[in-house]
Amino acid sequence: MKQFILKIFTTILVLGSGMYVQAQLPDQVFKAAGSPVNPKVTATWNRYYDHAGISEICKKIAAAYPDLAKLQSIGKSYEGRDLWCLTITDFKKGNADKKPGMYIDGNIHSNEIQGAEFALYTAWYLTESFGDTKFIQELLEDKVFYIVPTINPDARDSYMHKPNTGSSPRSGVIPVDNDGDGQVNEDSYDDINKDGHITMMRRKSANGRWKLDPKDPRNMIQVGPDEKGDYELLGIEGIDNDGDGRVNEDGYTFEYDPNRDWGWGWQPNYIQNGAYKYPFSLPENRAIMEFVMKHPNIAAAQSFHNAGGMILRGPGGQEDVGTYNAQDIAVYDAIAKKGEELIPGYKYLVVYKDLYSAYGGELDWFYAGRGIYTYSNELWTPYLMYMREATRDPFDNASFSFDRYLLFQDAFVPWAEYDHPQYGKIEVGGMKKNFGRAHPGFLLESDAHRNMAFSIYHCFHTPKLDVQEISEKDLGDGLKEVTAVITNSRLMPTHSSQDTKNKIERPDYITLTTSGKILSGMQVENRDLNLSREQEQNPGTIEVANIPGLGSVTVKWIVQGGGKYTVSVDSKKGGTVSASK
């Protein structure tokens, strides 16, 4: 016990002194425009955090800004890690869960790590900038962000702490018998050189078709038709562990694809590679689904991936082309085109058309299943290396030169000789797992900021409703006609067209409260031409299918007696607003 107390005391001392050492005195620093000058939560945005690291930053943000950030675990991963969600809004103003919401997650593909940092940076920036940035204050008064930095924490930790390539695991960690031989994970990658990175194997060979690249001897290039090579490439670092004549065919590094597990257009694995058993058969996705179902105020969503520098929208499957109608595409286009401006090197693309058909993706369920305007940004593009077009080809010289002159060869494992049980004397080497898909440290913060700015723009354009007008007209005989105009000053309607088509969310309610008797209520179709549609049942609350983006709806009531009128609007995705006259 005594020892325990001592331990706590030491911990406090270390933590306390740590904070003291790290935070600068206010008079020692000078604000760079657009960045928090002396943040309460010191976080370094040129490195990556495992799940424990993310958890700690989340907790610090929530502790430092109790009126702006609340932290909750919205479920557990397969291995029992918390799925943390930070709710960021001005909790002193309005009901958080009734404000139009923007949901952000990252890291669904476990090797696509920076989505978590980008999401977390967003939470950090919003809370740290709230004090001195009027725009953020107004934004958080109106809107709420739900930020889940990683929705695949088990495999995130697996990616960081176990031997992997830059492209593995991508999966979660539920074991699957990949080759159908009755054994599970019996033949995974093998970290022959024990450096935590799974790289390439090559072997000197008189019959090889590869040679060293004269521009950078670390690189391998194929020889021409009339040329002799010196090396053969033997694939990814590994051995045939189970003696079945195949290498690396059943490991923990790819079990399934969590982004083929969502409940819209889901297809089984033989049609959609990566699909698990049925929609939301993965516990992490199930937790997100349940959270989204409980938060119908979510109107916009971003799911961060890597790589390639893309702002993606659905549909994922060709079969769903008709799901997206012109009105919704106009909203998607307007926001994403702004995104292309904000994030240099990123291109706005459509999944099925510009990439490949993918069924059961997260963005498809968010949009088609729930009516939420959703993008997936594919973070990191080789463009960012030299601010000009480049490819993600691992043998691209741009990568090697960037590594040589800007990273000082930190991204490369030099070739070295090893004995392989099947291949004999081989060499192991190649690009490390943290290069090619993940941002190099010095580019991480700036791209996080740009992508956050895009999310903020995206969120800004969720509906903003106002009661613009309440007017009264005397009809004689003690009857009054009360007209209300409700405006939506942002791009998104309260119901996307997919939503109105399938009635995903209930209509918006526009309610008149008055001491008089409401005899009739109607939605006005054309005020000038006096066209309207009566709602016979419950006329005090007019049910409106949608309040269009950058538009308005007009309703009116015939009232007997009364004088003071309050008009209240209650929209699942548009929030609540009321005005009196």
Partner 1 sequence: MRKLMITTLLCWVAATVGAQDYSNAAEQANRLNALTKAYPQLTTLKSLTKTNGGKDIWLLTIGTGKTETKPAIAVIGGVEGNHLLGTEMAIGFAEQLLKGSGSDSIRALLNRTTYYVFPNMSPDAMEQYFSKIRSERAGNATGTDDDRDGKQNEDGWDDLDANGKITILRIESITGDYKLHPDDARVLIKADMGKGEKGKYKLLIEGIDNDKDGLFNEDGEGGIAFNKNLTYNHKTFAAGAGEFPASEKETRAMLDFLYDAFNVYTVVSFGTNNNLSTPIAYNPAAANQRIVAGLLEPDAKVNGMVSDMYNKVTGSKDAPRTNVTGGDVLSWGYFHFGRYSFSTPGWWVPKAKPDTAKKEKAFTVEDATANYLRWASQQGIANTFTEWKTIQHPDFPGQKVEVGGIDPYVMNNPPYKMADAVVKKHAEFLVKLASNQPEIDIINLKTEKLASGLTRISLDVVNKGSMSTHSKLGERNYFVKKVKVALQTAAKQDVVGGRKIHLLNSIEANSSSSFSWVVKGTGKITVEAGCPTAGTKTIEINL
Interface positions with partner 1 (CB under 8 A): 176-177, 179-182, 242-245, 263-264, 266-271, 275, 277-281, 289, 293, 319, 365, 369, 502-504, 506-507, 536-537, 543
Nearer to partner 1, 29 or 293 (CB): 293
CB of 110 to partner 1, least distance (A): 19
d(CA 87, CA 146): 5
Nearer to partner 1, 266 or 346 (CB): 266
**Distant-in-sequence, close-in-space partners of 351: CB < 8 Å, separation ≥ 6:** 312, 313, 314, 315, 316, 357, 358, 361, 363, 376
Nearer to partner 1, 78 or 457 (CB): 78
CB of 31 to partner 1, least distance (A): 48
DSSP string, 1-58: -HHHHHHHHHHHHHHHHHHHHHSPPGGG--PPTTS-SS-SS---TTS---HHHHHHHH
CB of 246 to partner 1, least distance (A): 9
Burial 503-529 (b: 16+ CB within 10 A, else e): ebbebbbbbbebebebeebbbbeeeee
CB of 373 to partner 1, least distance (A): 19
CB of 270 to partner 1, least distance (A): 4
Is residue 189 within 8 Å of 236, Cβ to Cβ?
Answer: yes
- Is there a cis peptide before residue 169, judged by omega within 30 degrees of 0? yes
CB of 68 to partner 1, least distance (A): 32
Nearer to partner 1, 179 or 340 (CB): 179
CB of 520 to partner 1, least distance (A): 15
Is residue 357 within 8 Å of 317, Cβ to Cβ?
Answer: yes
CB of 182 to partner 1, least distance (A): 5
d(CA 143, CA 549): 16
Best CA proximity match to 347, nearest among 334, 336, 332: 336
Nearer to partner 1, 108 or 176 (CB): 176
Best CA proximity match to 411, nearest among 166, 49, 45, 44: 166
Nearer to partner 1, 385 or 542 (CB): 542
Q: Which residues partner with 164 through β-bridges?
A: 197
CB of 330 to partner 1, least distance (A): 24
Nearer to partner 1, 236 or 544 (CB): 544
Nearer to partner 1, 245 or 476 (CB): 245
Nearer to partner 1, 127 or 323 (CB): 323
- Is there a cis peptide before residue 258, judged by omega within 30 degrees of 0? no
3-state secondary structure of 570: strand
CB of 534 to partner 1, least distance (A): 13
d(CA 512, CA 519): 12
DSSP string, 165-228: -TT---S-SS---TTSSS-SS-B----TT-SSB--EEEEE-TT-SEEEETTEEEEEEE--TT--
User: Largest alpha-carbon pair distance within the chain?
Assistant: 105
3-state secondary structure of 59: helix
Nearer to partner 1, 17 or 538 (CB): 538
d(CA 130, CA 431): 40
d(CA 188, CA 549): 51
